[in-house]
Structures are given as C-alpha cells and as structure tokens.
Structure 1
Amino acid sequence: MERQQPRFAGISVAILRIAVGLLWIQNAGWKVPPDFGQTDDKGLYFWASQAVEYPVLPPYSWFVETVVLPQIGVFGWMILLLEAALGAFLLIGLATRFWALVGIAQSLAITFSVLNAPDEWHWAYYLMILAHLVLLGTAAGRRVGLDGVLRPIWTQSPGRIARVLRAAS
C-alpha cells in the first residue's frame, strides 16, 4: 500500500514539476536553427563553446570541441528536441521519473559547459540538478499529472490492461 503524502506536499511537488517543465520549454526558445548561433557566435554555439574556453571536465571539453561544435547543426537539433520534450513531458506529468533522469543528465551537461564561465552563478546549475532529483524521488507526475491518472491502469494485471485498452479503442 502506498503511503499518502500530505496534500500540501503533493501540490508543492506538482508546482515544482510544472515550473521545471516551463523552464526547459523557455530555454529551448533560444536554441535557434539552422546554425544555432554559430555564424554570430551566440546562442547554443556560444554557450557550448564555453566548455572549451573554460573547461570544467577536460574529457567533456575535448568532446565538445572535436565532436559537438563541428556538428552543431546535428547536435543543436538533438538538444532542441530533447529539451522541448523534457519540458513538455514534465509539464503534463507523463513518464516523469524517466524525464527527471534525462533532466539530471542534461543539467550535468550544461554544468560541465558553463560552470567556470565568467559571471555564472554556479548554484543555478546545482539547483537544477537538485530539482530533478526531487522530481525523480517523489514520482512527481502522480500529483496533478498523467502518471497519476495512468498508474492505476498500468498497475493492474496484464489481462485487465488489455481489456481497458480494447474498451478505449
């Protein structure tokens, strides 16, 4: 039997999940195709190049310099789609634990890119990682999210799931 959280705790986790989802959606907005800022040395290209100019983890800096930056069009699209999906799935609370893991990985990649850059507030990156850890640990999509709606269906026996899906179609 699942232990119930106090109502305020559940609402707080839902608000955090929605806010983090909106953060990712907003930040996807400055990753502009087709060159993602390479021509003007701005946007995603500029921020990725900070990993080379101000290294945090040398192997990561090498990877960015030799693989990511020369192929910024390909990586730019991957990052844009990943971050937009990350935001959208967190916003609606679907597959929240999986997307929280993706958020941790993406937050680490951003941290390794810009942590040592001038005028960066390092706590912003630590807080991003911590927020995703909270979403992961609390199964945040079960509160005001689709995970909460779908969970009772998916926890039933396989025969019951098949009947529910047949009835829905």
Structure 2
Amino acid sequence: MTNPLYDTALFLIGDTGDYNRFGAAKYVSVLFYLLLLAAGLFVAWRNWTEDPSQRTVRNVGIFVMRLIAGGMWFQGTIWKLPLPVAAGFKYWLEQEGKFSAISLQGALVRDVLLPHIALLQPPVYLLEIAFTVSLTLGLAVRLSGLVVVLFILQLWLGLYNDPTEWPWTYVAIAFAHAMFAVSEAGQCLGLDNLLRLRGAAIANGRGIIAAAYRLAS
C-alpha cells in the first residue's frame, strides 16, 4: 500500500522505479530538481516580503498549482531518459502512430518521427525541462502555458483512440495550463513579478527583447 505523500517523498529523494534503474547517476537529476524547487520557493518568499500586494489567497493558490504542475512535468522527463532513445518514449510514440484520431498525424509519427526518434527525443526532453523551469520559477509562464496547450493537444489527438487512455485527461491538462497563461501565473509569487518589481530592464525596459518578454510573461 502507498499514498500520494509517500510517493512524493520517494520522488523527491529519487527512490522510484524510473529513477532506480539509473543507479547513482540518478542523483544528478534529483539534485537539479531540488535546487530548482528551492529557487522557486526563494522567489516566492522574496515576492512575499517585497510586495504586499502578493499576499493574497489567489496568488498563493496559483503559485501552489504551478509549482505542482512543474513537478508533474519534471517527473515526466525521467522516463524520457536515457537520451537519445528511451524505451518509454519509444513506446508512447508508437502508440500515437497506432491510435491517432487523425490519419495524417499517425502516418507522420510512423513514417517520419519514429525512424528519427534519436533526433526527436532530446528536444522533447529539453522542452519539458523548460516547462518545469518556467512553472517552478514563475518565468515567462504565459508563453510556456500556451506552448504546453499545443503540446498537449497533439498528445490528445495522438492517443485519442488508445483504449488504455482517457482523452479528457489531456483536455484537463491543456485547460489548466491555458488558465496559467491567461492568469499570468508568473506574476503570482513568481520571477515574472519579481523582475517587474525590481525594475529589471528585461521586464520594464524598451526594445524588442523587453517587449517580447512582457508578452511572454
């Protein structure tokens, strides 16, 4: 018997099935996430102490939700190791080729993506790491939320007819991240707000880069 709290503790210390098959090398990944999580909590604390407007139930609630969502994305990266081809990633890509709701998507997966999986998996892994960093730190969350929606929609369609999957799961994940985007969740105890608060050039300045960042955050 197990429970969510126990499973979370095992994940944080790297004592899960996906982790344990890597031996001592797993601690590189464990340390990365623990440092990232600590950074996210530190950013939240700095927002709380420096900006009284952040001290609301809404901001705390959104912060907790995006922190958990970031953990979800990071946990999903573990079974995409080792690079460049992991058995788990190959399996689910094959499922998309079999069960896509759109025949063209299925053909693309079977005929193009699977034969070149070693080129596909590393960018997908890095993309999910980027989602983890964005949500955990509250950095450019509006942009990452929108990218997640697109990413999840292709999974929704690709696995729509898989008898082991429930399509509404992917709809719920997409809607959750869409809400992160429209609520500008990085402004809730996140780095997006802290950069604005401290007058950082990228958040408050002029020019293309600053304007692009403001759109992303």
Taking structure 1 as the reference length, what is the TM-score of the superposition?
Answer: 0.81
Change (3 A) 1:149 1:108: same
- Which residue of structure 2 aligns with residue 138 of structure 1? 183
Runs (4+) of structure 1 exceeding 4 A deviation are none
- Does structure 2 retain, via aligned residues, the 8 Å contact 1:55–1:113? yes
- Which residue of structure 2 aligns with residue 10 of structure 1? 59
Name the amino acid aligned to 1:138: S
2:116 paired with 1:71: yes
Residue 20 (structure 1) aligned to one of 54, 62, 69:
69
1:70-97, Cα deviation, whole Å (9 max, x unpaired): 0111101111111111111111110111
SS in 1 for 2:84: coil
Name the amino acid aligned to 1:27: G
Change (3 A) 1:156 1:83: closer
User: How many residue pairs were aligned?
Assistant: 151
Report matched runs for 1:73-152 at 5 Å: 73-152=118-197
- CA drift of 1:59 comes to 1.8
Q: Which has the higher contact order (CA 8 A, sep 6+)?
A: 1
More helix by share: 2
- Does structure 2 retain, via aligned residues, the 8 Å contact 1:28–1:84? yes
- Does structure 2 retain, via aligned residues, the 8 Å contact 1:56–1:113? yes
- Which residue of structure 2 aligns with residue 57 of structure 1? 102
- CA drift of 1:157 comes to 4.9
- Does structure 2 retain, via aligned residues, the 8 Å contact 1:49–1:113? no
| CA distance in structure 1 between the partners assigned to 2:98 and 2:203 by the alignment | 49
Aligned Cα root-mean-square deviation (Å): 2.0
- Does structure 2 retain, via aligned residues, the 8 Å contact 1:47–1:113? no
- Does structure 2 retain, via aligned residues, the 8 Å contact 1:93–1:146? yes
Identity of aligned residues (%): 29
Taking structure 2 as the reference length, what is the TM-score of the superposition?
Answer: 0.64
Structure 1: gaps of 5 or more residues: 38-42, 160-169
- Does structure 1 retain, via aligned residues, the 8 Å contact 2:54–2:188? no
- CA drift of 1:112 comes to 2.1
Structure 2: gaps of 5 or more residues: 1-52, 208-217
